[in-house]
Amino acid sequence: MKRLILFRHAKSDWDDPVARDFDRPLNGRGEKAALVMGEFAKAKGIRFDMVVASPAVRVVETLNVFFTGYGEVIDPHWDRRIYLASTPTLFDVIRDLPDSADSVLMSGHNPGLEELVLDMVPDDGASPLREDVEVKFPTASIAVLDLPIEHWSEVKPNIANLASFTRPRDLDPALGPGSR
């Protein structure tokens, strides 16, 4: 059994005058959400052996703040393929994970992460959480997927069980839509 934890980067600062999207930093609300999600992951006992992440500035900053709340740091493996990746590319990244890691935290971007959940979890009406993801996978949200596989190379569509899906607003309403 493998576990894949998908963590979308927190809210970024669209007002920052950076030249490239890749360099966009978090805003204050994003920093707060990343901290709250780290504290939540720690409290819920969400564990992972490895972190693989997009090297975009907003993901790097999200993970730094998340680990502050989590109380432990696991050095990420930065994989440029995750930056704004499509689901076929994300499947390639997952298939390349080492089998020594049973639980992996992947941090990246939408629409890729949302589409990955929708591709991996069967659309058979059995998962109300999947329906929540289908509505929206907001910034700083965490989806935990359980995979009945022994090797990451075996990952494929319609194989996962969505064990949990948590949005920052589920933990703090001030982090919901429309709040600054």
CB 1 within 8 A of CB 146: yes
Q: Determine the Cα–Cα distance for residues 102 and 137; give it in Å rounded to an integer.
A: 24
Other beta carbons less than 10 A from residue 16's beta carbon: 13
Beta bridge partners of 145: 4, 162
Nearest-angstrom CA–CA distance, 160 and 119:
9
Q: How far apart are CA 39 and CA 43, in angstroms?
A: 6
Strand duo 142-147 + 2-8: pairing: antiparallel
Q: Is 58 annotated as a binding residue?
A: yes
Amino acid at the residue 4 = L
CA distance 109 to 165: 16
Binding site residues for substrate, as ranges? 58
